[in-house]
Amino acid sequence: MADAAPIGVFDSGVGGLSVLHEIRARLPHESLIYLADCGHVPYGEKTPEYIRTRCRAIAEFLLSRGAKALVLACNTATAAAAADLRELYPQLPIVAMEPAVKPAAEATRSGVVGVLATTGTLKSARFAALLDRFAGDVRVVTQPCPGLVERIEAGDLKSPQTRELLQGYVAPLLNEGCDTLILGCTHYPFLRPLLRELVPADISLIDTGAAVARQLQRLLGSRDLLAEGAARKTELWTSGAVESLERVLPVLWGAEEPVNFFPG
């Protein structure tokens, strides 16, 4: 039985659009509602309690719009709030995401992997558990990246300031001998073209957007919740300035779309 209800996807801001691209490509029949919590970005420097409160408000809103599933398109929100939301909504399909430590540990040849992520993700108990479980003998070097999310929120993917900031975060990881870099924040895949200019060609860049879309498809399929039929629409919401999100959409989403304001 097909289920035409929308899938609710959210992030602290525009970063989750990198995941939304993957979901849209894999699940063209689904209606999607994306909420960018731009009025509260960045999550990376906020307390876990603050992020949990935001995630509860957003989940409640997306469910009030009829969402049949939630995607936390944010590593920082996952670290702080995935367990809380799963406890609050035990029946709801929830897909969360965390840095790709397992595939990176399998892929590295130098035995050293670098993680670019937010301070919040790297400080979390969930990330420590991820390392315990999957790093094995691989050395994992972490790099918090304050300021980077703000560049991407502004749609600035290649200015000299963004390049300099990114260079400063990547150089120490290369000096440590990393041959695999994990993009552990959903904003960072938008910097792939710039990163490719900054790191040697044999350095692998790994993110989990496509894996999240596959997991969402599996989960919905196993519960008989997949939609069928005509391609569906994508509805966009922000808790920040509507014009700011509309302005960066051509760069980050590849199309102009109307944006709604979420006052919560």
Q: How far is the CB of 9 from ligand DGL (least distance, A)?
A: 12
Using alpha carbons, select from 257, 43, 78, 25 the residue that is nearest to residue 153: 43
CA angle at 230 for the pair 239 and 64, rounded to the nearest 5°: 35
Nearer to ligand DGL among residue 186 and residue 238 (C-beta) = 186
- Grouping H, G, I as helix, E, B as strand and the rest as coil, residue 66 is coil
Nearer to ligand DGL among residue 76 and residue 234 (C-beta) = 76
Question: CB of 189 within 8 A of CB of 197?
Answer: no
Q: How far is the CB of 148 from ligand DGL (least distance, A)?
A: 9
The catalytic position among 38, 55, 74, 178 is 74
Q: In what order do the strands lie in the sheet with 180-183?
A: 139-144, 112-117, 180-183, 204-206
Q: How far is the CB of 227 from ligand DGL (least distance, A)?
A: 26
The DSSP element (H or E) to which 218 belongs, if any, is helix 209-222
Residue for token pair 């992520």: 117
The catalytic position among 38, 55, 178, 185 is 185
Nearer to ligand DGL among residue 71 and residue 259 (C-beta) = 71
Q: Which residues bind ligand DGL (CB under 6 A)?
A: 11-13, 15, 41-44, 74-76, 118, 121, 149, 185-187
Nearer to ligand DGL among residue 226 and residue 245 (C-beta) = 245
C-alpha 220, offset from chain centre: 19
Q: How far is the CB of 75 from ligand DGL (least distance, A)?
A: 4
Q: What is the dihedral of CA 132, 134, 137, 141, to 10 degrees?
A: -80
Task: Judge whether 145 counts as a catalytic residue.
Answer: no
Nearest residue by C-beta to ligand DGL? Answer: 44
Q: Could you list the active site residues?
A: 74, 185
